Amino acid sequence: MSKRSMGYKLVATDVDGTITNENREVDIDVLYYIRRIREFVPIVITTGNNLCVAEIIATLIGASKDYIIAENGGVLKVKDKIIKLGNREKAIEVFKKLKQKYNLVEVNMSNCRLTDVAIKRTIDSKILEKEILNYDVKIFDTKFAIHIVDKNVDKSIALKRLSEHLNIKLDEIIAIGDSENDRKMLEVAGYSICIGYELKDVADICFERRSDAFKHVLNIILKGR
Protein backbone atom coordinates (compact mmCIF):
# COMPACT_ATOMS: atom_id res chain seq x y z
CA MET A 1 0.00 0.00 0.00
CA SER A 2 1.35 3.40 -0.97
CA LYS A 3 2.40 5.72 1.83
CA ARG A 4 3.16 8.70 -0.38
CA SER A 5 1.52 11.14 2.03
CA MET A 6 4.24 10.70 4.65
CA GLY A 7 7.59 12.47 4.62
CA TYR A 8 10.33 10.16 3.46
CA LYS A 9 13.77 10.56 5.00
CA LEU A 10 16.01 8.31 2.89
CA VAL A 11 16.21 6.74 -0.57
CA ALA A 12 17.93 3.34 -0.89
CA THR A 13 18.79 2.32 -4.42
CA ASP A 14 20.38 -0.65 -6.11
CA VAL A 15 23.07 0.14 -8.69
CA ASP A 16 23.51 -2.43 -11.48
CA GLY A 17 20.34 -2.62 -13.56
CA THR A 18 18.76 0.20 -11.58
CA ILE A 19 21.08 3.15 -12.10
CA THR A 20 22.97 1.44 -14.93
CA ASN A 21 21.95 -0.45 -18.05
CA GLU A 22 22.82 -4.02 -19.04
CA ASN A 23 26.34 -2.85 -19.98
CA ARG A 24 26.79 -1.28 -16.54
CA GLU A 25 26.74 2.19 -18.08
CA VAL A 26 25.21 4.91 -15.91
CA ASP A 27 21.94 6.42 -17.12
CA ILE A 28 22.78 10.14 -17.37
CA ASP A 29 19.15 11.19 -16.86
CA VAL A 30 19.09 9.24 -13.60
CA LEU A 31 22.10 11.21 -12.37
CA TYR A 32 20.18 14.45 -12.81
CA TYR A 33 17.40 13.24 -10.52
CA ILE A 34 19.84 11.79 -7.99
CA ARG A 35 21.45 15.22 -7.66
CA ARG A 36 18.01 16.78 -7.17
CA ILE A 37 16.83 14.17 -4.65
CA ARG A 38 19.94 14.50 -2.50
CA GLU A 39 19.06 18.16 -1.90
CA PHE A 40 16.27 16.90 0.34
CA VAL A 41 17.16 13.41 1.61
CA PRO A 42 20.23 11.14 1.64
CA ILE A 43 20.59 8.60 -1.17
CA VAL A 44 22.20 5.34 -0.07
CA ILE A 45 23.38 2.78 -2.61
CA THR A 46 22.69 -0.89 -1.87
CA THR A 47 24.79 -2.95 -4.22
CA GLY A 48 26.32 -6.34 -4.84
CA ASN A 49 29.64 -4.64 -5.59
CA ASN A 50 32.42 -4.80 -3.03
CA LEU A 51 32.85 -1.82 -0.72
CA CYS A 52 35.84 -0.37 -2.59
CA VAL A 53 33.86 -0.18 -5.82
CA ALA A 54 30.72 0.97 -4.00
CA GLU A 55 32.56 3.91 -2.46
CA ILE A 56 33.79 4.99 -5.89
CA ILE A 57 30.28 4.66 -7.35
CA ALA A 58 28.77 6.68 -4.51
CA THR A 59 31.30 9.45 -5.04
CA LEU A 60 30.83 9.59 -8.80
CA ILE A 61 27.03 9.64 -8.82
CA GLY A 62 26.60 11.91 -5.83
CA ALA A 63 25.13 9.41 -3.37
CA SER A 64 26.02 9.29 0.33
CA LYS A 65 29.65 8.41 1.05
CA ASP A 66 28.97 8.04 4.79
CA TYR A 67 26.34 5.32 4.44
CA ILE A 68 26.75 2.44 1.98
CA ILE A 69 25.34 -1.09 1.76
CA ALA A 70 27.64 -3.36 -0.26
CA GLU A 71 27.94 -7.07 -1.12
CA ASN A 72 24.14 -7.48 -1.19
CA GLY A 73 23.85 -6.50 2.45
CA GLY A 74 26.93 -8.31 3.69
CA VAL A 75 28.75 -5.05 4.34
CA LEU A 76 27.36 -1.90 5.95
CA LYS A 77 29.44 1.26 6.06
CA VAL A 78 28.42 3.79 8.71
CA LYS A 79 30.76 6.76 8.37
CA ASP A 80 34.23 5.42 9.25
CA LYS A 81 32.93 2.11 10.62
CA ILE A 82 32.66 -1.01 8.46
CA ILE A 83 30.21 -3.62 9.74
CA LYS A 84 30.37 -7.16 8.38
CA LEU A 85 26.96 -8.83 8.43
CA GLY A 86 28.05 -12.09 6.82
CA ASN A 87 30.72 -14.75 7.28
CA ARG A 88 32.88 -15.03 4.16
CA GLU A 89 34.47 -18.27 5.34
CA LYS A 90 31.15 -20.04 4.77
CA ALA A 91 31.04 -18.78 1.18
CA ILE A 92 34.67 -19.67 0.50
CA GLU A 93 34.18 -23.22 1.78
CA VAL A 94 31.21 -23.80 -0.51
CA PHE A 95 32.92 -22.13 -3.47
CA LYS A 96 35.89 -24.49 -3.15
CA LYS A 97 33.58 -27.51 -3.15
CA LEU A 98 31.60 -26.26 -6.14
CA LYS A 99 34.75 -25.49 -8.06
CA GLN A 100 35.79 -29.13 -7.87
CA LYS A 101 32.70 -29.96 -9.93
CA TYR A 102 32.14 -26.87 -12.09
CA ASN A 103 34.37 -24.45 -13.97
CA LEU A 104 33.68 -21.39 -11.79
CA VAL A 105 35.56 -18.13 -12.25
CA GLU A 106 35.62 -15.37 -9.65
CA VAL A 107 34.88 -11.81 -10.74
CA ASN A 108 37.55 -9.13 -10.90
CA MET A 109 38.71 -7.72 -7.55
CA SER A 110 37.34 -10.77 -5.78
CA ASN A 111 40.12 -10.47 -3.20
CA CYS A 112 38.55 -7.17 -2.07
CA ARG A 113 35.31 -8.82 -1.00
CA LEU A 114 34.67 -9.04 2.74
CA THR A 115 31.63 -11.32 3.13
CA ASP A 116 30.89 -13.27 -0.06
CA VAL A 117 32.30 -14.91 -3.15
CA ALA A 118 31.19 -13.49 -6.51
CA ILE A 119 31.59 -15.54 -9.67
CA LYS A 120 31.00 -14.89 -13.36
CA ARG A 121 27.69 -16.00 -14.84
CA THR A 122 29.11 -18.95 -16.78
CA ILE A 123 26.62 -21.36 -15.18
CA ASP A 124 22.91 -21.38 -14.45
CA SER A 125 22.50 -20.18 -10.87
CA LYS A 126 19.66 -22.67 -10.35
CA ILE A 127 22.19 -25.50 -10.69
CA LEU A 128 24.23 -24.01 -7.87
CA GLU A 129 21.13 -23.44 -5.75
CA LYS A 130 20.47 -27.19 -5.80
CA GLU A 131 24.07 -27.94 -4.88
CA ILE A 132 24.07 -25.76 -1.74
CA LEU A 133 20.88 -27.01 -0.09
CA ASN A 134 22.83 -28.62 2.75
CA TYR A 135 25.07 -25.63 3.42
CA ASP A 136 24.55 -22.47 5.45
CA VAL A 137 24.75 -20.22 2.39
CA LYS A 138 22.50 -18.98 -0.40
CA ILE A 139 22.84 -17.79 -3.98
CA PHE A 140 22.09 -14.32 -5.32
CA ASP A 141 22.00 -13.93 -9.10
CA THR A 142 22.12 -10.19 -9.74
CA LYS A 143 22.14 -10.64 -13.54
CA PHE A 144 25.69 -9.32 -13.50
CA ALA A 145 27.31 -11.91 -11.20
CA ILE A 146 26.41 -14.89 -9.05
CA HIS A 147 27.07 -14.38 -5.36
CA ILE A 148 27.58 -17.11 -2.76
CA VAL A 149 26.65 -15.55 0.57
CA ASP A 150 25.98 -16.37 4.19
CA LYS A 151 22.28 -17.20 4.68
CA ASN A 152 22.02 -14.30 7.12
CA VAL A 153 22.95 -11.74 4.45
CA ASP A 154 20.27 -9.61 2.81
CA LYS A 155 19.91 -5.97 1.77
CA SER A 156 16.82 -5.64 3.96
CA ILE A 157 18.76 -6.63 7.10
CA ALA A 158 21.48 -4.10 6.37
CA LEU A 159 18.86 -1.45 5.63
CA LYS A 160 17.17 -2.15 8.95
CA ARG A 161 20.51 -1.76 10.77
CA LEU A 162 21.09 1.52 8.98
CA SER A 163 17.61 2.81 9.78
CA GLU A 164 18.17 2.05 13.47
CA HIS A 165 21.48 3.91 13.40
CA LEU A 166 19.84 6.94 11.75
CA ASN A 167 16.83 6.69 14.05
CA ILE A 168 14.34 6.54 11.20
CA LYS A 169 11.61 4.01 10.45
CA LEU A 170 11.68 1.61 7.53
CA ASP A 171 8.34 3.15 6.55
CA GLU A 172 10.22 6.40 5.97
CA ILE A 173 12.46 4.86 3.31
CA ILE A 174 11.93 4.63 -0.45
CA ALA A 175 13.67 1.61 -2.02
CA ILE A 176 14.46 1.08 -5.70
CA GLY A 177 15.66 -2.16 -7.30
CA ASP A 178 15.36 -4.45 -10.29
CA SER A 179 16.23 -8.05 -9.43
CA GLU A 180 15.72 -10.84 -6.94
CA ASN A 181 18.47 -9.69 -4.57
CA ASP A 182 16.42 -6.49 -4.06
CA ARG A 183 13.19 -8.30 -3.19
CA LYS A 184 13.31 -8.17 0.60
CA MET A 185 14.59 -4.61 0.58
CA LEU A 186 11.53 -3.58 -1.44
CA GLU A 187 9.29 -5.58 0.89
CA VAL A 188 10.42 -3.78 4.06
CA ALA A 189 10.61 -0.23 2.68
CA GLY A 190 7.77 2.24 3.13
CA TYR A 191 7.51 2.73 -0.62
CA SER A 192 9.08 0.47 -3.22
CA ILE A 193 9.85 0.93 -6.90
CA CYS A 194 10.88 -1.72 -9.41
CA ILE A 195 12.81 -1.11 -12.62
CA GLY A 196 11.23 -3.54 -15.06
CA TYR A 197 8.69 -6.07 -13.83
CA GLU A 198 10.62 -8.87 -12.13
CA LEU A 199 9.57 -7.63 -8.67
CA LYS A 200 6.11 -6.35 -9.56
CA ASP A 201 4.56 -8.60 -6.91
CA VAL A 202 6.30 -6.67 -4.09
CA ALA A 203 6.73 -3.20 -5.61
CA ASP A 204 4.27 -0.35 -5.19
CA ILE A 205 4.99 0.73 -8.76
CA CYS A 206 7.15 -0.37 -11.71
CA PHE A 207 8.87 1.62 -14.45
CA GLU A 208 10.55 0.55 -17.67
CA ARG A 209 12.61 3.73 -17.90
CA ARG A 210 15.05 4.24 -15.05
CA SER A 211 14.86 8.01 -15.26
CA ASP A 212 11.07 7.88 -14.89
CA ALA A 213 11.48 5.98 -11.64
CA PHE A 214 13.84 8.55 -10.14
CA LYS A 215 11.70 11.42 -11.40
CA HIS A 216 8.81 9.76 -9.58
CA VAL A 217 10.87 9.62 -6.38
CA LEU A 218 11.68 13.31 -6.62
CA ASN A 219 8.00 14.17 -7.09
CA ILE A 220 7.01 12.10 -4.06
CA ILE A 221 9.60 13.79 -1.87
CA LEU A 222 8.62 17.27 -3.05
CA LYS A 223 4.95 16.57 -2.35
CA GLY A 224 5.80 15.45 1.18
CA ARG A 225 7.55 18.67 2.06
User: pLDDT-derived band of residue 6, with 50, 70 and 90 as boundaries?
Assistant: low
Nearest to 173, CA basis, from 67, 80, 99, 52: 67
**How confident is the model over 35-63, as pLDDT tens digits?**
999 999 999 999 999 999 999 999 999 99
CATH 3.90.1070.10 assigned to 88-150? yes
Summarised one tens digit per residue, pLDDT across range 132-172 is 999 999 999 998 999 999 999 999 999 999 999 999 999 99
Which CATH code for domain 10-84+153-223? 3.40.50.1000
pTM value is 0.93
How far the first Cα of the chain sits from its last, in Å, is 20
Across the range 3-26, mean pLDDT stands at: 87
pLDDT tens column, 78-111: 999 999 999 999 999 999 999 999 999 999 888 8
Which active-site residues does the annotation give? 14
Q: What is the DSSP string of the chain?
A: ---TTSPP-EEEE--TTTTB-TT--B-HHHHHHHHHHTTTS-EEEB-SS-HHHHHHHHHHHT--SSEEEEGGGTEEEETTEEEE-S-HHHHHHHHHHHHTTS---BPTTGGG-SSEEEE-S-S-HHHHHHHTTTSSEEEEE-SS-EEEEETT--HHHHHHHHHHHHT--GGGEEEEE-SGGGHHHHHHSSEEEEESSTTTTT-SEEESSHHHHHHHHHHHHHHT-
Q: Domain ranges for the chain, please list them.
A: 10-84+153-223, 88-150
Phi-psi label, residue 55: left if phi above 0, alpha if psi -120 to 50, beta otherwise: alpha
